[in-house]
Amino acid sequence: MKENHLILDFSHVYCDENIPENALVNDNVHWLDCSQIEGCDLYCSECAEEKIMEKIEPYGIHGIHFLDSGNYHYITAIMVSQICEDFMLVVFDHHTDMQKPMIEDIMSCGDWAGKVLNTNPYLQQLVLIGPEQKDIKQIYSDKADELNGTYIKEKLLTFSAEEIESGGDKDNISKIKTDLPVYISIDKDILDRKYSETNWSQGKMSLTMLEELLLHFLQNRRILGIDICGECQPGIPFPEYIEAEEINEETNKELFEYLNHYINNL
């Protein structure tokens, strides 16, 4: 499969980052201007979803894709909806993105992962890495009735920030399926503010730890696609914006080079 790296530009935040600076000279990196799509910030209307799909569809999902801020993390659901084989979804995120939907028929950045878990027929396992333990417990209490316990019990595997910091549950690690192709989604709000400035609350993970965790899923796996979100909030005071852009630019470049190395050597 040909790799097509995508930059989905909703807020023009990447214009100040030169992301990824070296890769943009390559013909397999495509800048998709999504700034004129209405009804897509935080929540995604049916019309907006169709327009986003039209932008993505010609390129497919095999590659590394920058999705703008966490407000657009639901695009992962649009990406994986194009997968027509059994697969595993690995999500690195400080939040669960499995809240109860406020508007049942409209996908949002806060509930997209739960909707994928509940509705995608090809998803065999969702590995969620990085939320706080209290938020993971909330998934089970809030979603048990909606999912009848089935998908949570059989398909969802979670690793809290506290488990990762303490060394994790070794028995839980053994439950990660090894015989499925993988789609990886990274929200940089999992990282400490030393490595990323996002518009949501953030975790304390180092970039080195993130890369070590990613390696478990990058080695000896068929990677279907990878996306990255978690940019800063446009409109913040200019000095803060410039500082945030510099931090995010360096991390985006580092992640792109790290991930690209592995998918090029599969």
- Rounded to whole angstroms, how far apart are CA atoms 153 and 198? 32
Least confident of 24-28, 36-40, 117-121, 134-138: 24-28
* pTM of the predicted structure, to 2 decimals: 0.93
pLDDT band at 148 (very low <50, low <70, confident <90, very high): very low
Distance of CA 179 to the CA centre of its chain: 21
Q: Are 76 and 91 in contact (CB under 8 A)?
A: yes
Q: Are 6 and 62 in contact (CB under 8 A)?
A: no
What is the per-residue pLDDT across 85-131, written as a single tens digit (0 to 9) for each?
Answer: 999 999 999 999 998 877 777 999 999 999 999 899 999 999 999 99
Residue 16 scores a pLDDT above 90: no
What is the per-residue pLDDT across 191-216, written as a single tens digit (0 to 9) for each?
Answer: 999 999 999 999 999 999 999 999 99
3-state secondary structure at position 220: coil
The domains of the chain, with CATH numbers, are 5-263 (3.40.800.10)
Q: Are 67 and 187 in contact (CB under 8 A)?
A: no
